[in-house]
Structure formats: structure tokens, C-alpha cells
Amino acid sequence: MSTERADIRTLLASGSVVLGPMAGITEAPFRGICKRMGAQLTYTEMVSAKGLHYNPDSAVSRALLTFSAEETPCAVQIFGSEPTIMADQAARIVEQRGRDVALVDINMGCPMTKVTAKGEGAALMRTPELAAEIVSQVAVACGVPVTVKFRAGWDESALNAVEFARRMEAAGAAAVGVHGRTREQFYRGRADWSVLAEVKRAVSVPVIGSGDVFSAADAKEMLERTGVDVVMVARGAQGNPWIFREAAALIERGEVLGPPTAFERIDMALHHAEALQAFGGDHTFPRMRKHVGWYIVGMPGATHVRERVNHIGSYTELRGLLTEYRSYVEQRTEA
């Protein structure tokens, strides 16, 4: 690897598609899968700067900051509301993880009440001066590009994404990411992509668009309609890491790839389960239940399989169930 870190426009190449952070979902094994499928960049689940500050050696923190070999360098997303703590912990992460850290992203878009009630996540859109101070201190401290992800605004009466983006750029953000919903919407309704276009016109740094990208066609349409530099896929990758391969083919070559076969989906679920067990042991099994449901949605007998998954408690049982299910699908295909 080069001794020079990649600049932001290399990390976030124009027209690329990246995997966004999702708490409880984008653990290292899944990020590695998405990277192999063509994600330009992957993001960790959001990491609490305050949690790192007061309990730096916790098992939770270690797991959140463990990267898969396939994905490095990776983007680390942190959240918090204390500028000094945010800066100190960002610098600590970069120092400890070295060149595996591509950039530090600051979460200013999480809508969850347990986060916003502490003035963190999307609540920082209501305190732009504090948000700017956080970005400024983190950018000075950590020595890698610092980016910010936020929303259209707090609610329909406070749609301040454009002015907020300008403030973040002025404070030192190397790129901004915008989700086209307000905090009050959470994930309801449709994302307003016009907000993404407005932010793109307002700043000179790269802009990452987010919201309602569930297919390669959606990714291409977002790029064309809004002018954003990069598309971020989050929920659209659940059970569908192939979306990155399909989006790259469509955007770069105009090629429409077929969806994964039923066998590819089952085999990926098996691979994901093995990787997740190797990563975190049997206690990660509850996380895998939802992944299995996403991989097989819409397939014959999927409802029955999901019910059985919810009543088993080990990876050994899961491997047996998915192997059995693969044989069932094969028999139906041959019939």
C-alpha cells in the first residue's frame, strides 16, 4: 500500500456506490461481503465516542472497530455531542487502527430517540454551531478526511440541510452525506431527493446521497437526477449484497445484470452465517436470524423457513436447515 493516504475524491470516486452504516446489521463479515460484491467503501456501525472515552476496552467497542480483511481501508462512523471527546476518540481510533481507517464519518442523522435525546445524531441539526465545532475539532485531531452524514432537517418546519452542509464544509468536512428524510420521518414515507440536489449545488466537496435506493436502477437514477457524486445504499443491501455488483455494471457499462439465483441466495446466507460465527461466536446467532429472512424473502417456502429459524438457537442447526432448504428448492426447480 502507498505511504500516502487516498484523497477524498479517490475514496469517494464519482459514480460509485458505498455501503452505509446500519446499527446491528453492518458488522464486519457483512461489510466484507458487500465489498467483494463491489461496494466502493464500507462504513462501520456507528460507534459512541463517549462509550470509547469511558470504556475504551469494552468488547462492544472492539467488535465495532474490527474490520474484515476484504474491506480495508474502511470508514469509521462515530457519534456524540462533546467536541473534545469526539476529537480525542477519533484521533485514538486512527492512531490504533492505522491505515485501515480511510476516513472518519460523524453521524448527525440518526433519528433514534435514545440518541437524539442526548443531543446527538440528528439532534445536532438543531445546534449547527455545536455541530460545526465538532467537525472542526475532529478534522484537526484525526489526520484523515472527516465527513458528516445528516438529514434533510429535523422536521418539515426546519429543512436546513443546505445551510447545514455549507457550515460543515466551512468547518472542515471533506465530504457530506445527505439522507432525504427528516428526523421526524424516521424511515417512513419517501425520501426527498430534491434536497440532495440542492445540497450538491450548494457545496464544493463531494456529496453522498442516501435514501430509497433498493436497486441498481435506483442508484443510477439518483446519480442522474440529483448530481450527487456517490450513492449510499443501506436498507437496499439487506439480504442483497449483489446490489453493488449490479449497480456498478449499470452505471459503468449500461449493463443490466440478472438477479441472484435462489441457490446463490441460500449459499450466501450459509457463507454469511459461517463468517459471522467466526467473527463473534455463537452469541451473534440472533443477528443472523434477520439476515436469513432477508436473503430468502419471496422464495418458495420462505415463511416456513423463517419460522423455523426463529425457533432454533445455534449455527449448527442453521446450517442443517439451510442445507435442507437448498435441497427443497432444487427439487422444486427440477420438477
Query: Which residue among the candidates 34, 74, 110, 142 is catalytic per the annotation?
Result: 110
Domain range 8-253, CATH class: alpha beta
Q: How many CB atoms lie within 10 A of CB 3?
A: 5
Q: Which of 142, 110, 70, 279 is nearest to 210 (CA)?
A: 110
Over residues 67-77, mean pLDDT: 94
- Amino acid at site 229: D
Residue 61 has a pLDDT of: 86
Q: What's the chain's average pLDDT?
A: 95
Ordered DSSP codes for 53-91: HH-TT-HHHHHHT---TTT-SEEEEEE-S-HHHHHHHHH
Rounded-to-integer distance, Cα 335 and Cα 331, Å: 6
Asked if residue 73 has a cis previous peptide bond (ω within 30° of 0), the answer is yes
Question: Does the pLDDT value for residue 213 go beyond 50?
Answer: yes
Q: How many CB atoms lie within 10 A of CB 320?
A: 12
Q: Which of 200, 206, 203 is nearest to 180 (CA)?
A: 200
Rounded-to-integer distance, Cα 173 and Cα 73, Å: 19
Helix runs in the chain, H state only = 8-11, 28-36, 49-54, 59-64, 83-97, 113-116, 128-142, 161-171, 193-202, 216-226, 242-253, 262-280, 285-296, 302-309, 315-334
Residue 4 has a pLDDT of: 59
pTM value?
Answer: 0.95
| pLDDT > 90: percent of the chain | 92
Active site residue 142: no
Q: Tell me: the pLDDT tens digits for 83-138? A: 999 999 999 999 999 999 999 999 999 999 999 999 999 999 999 999 999 999 99
Domain boundaries, the chain: 8-253, 262-334
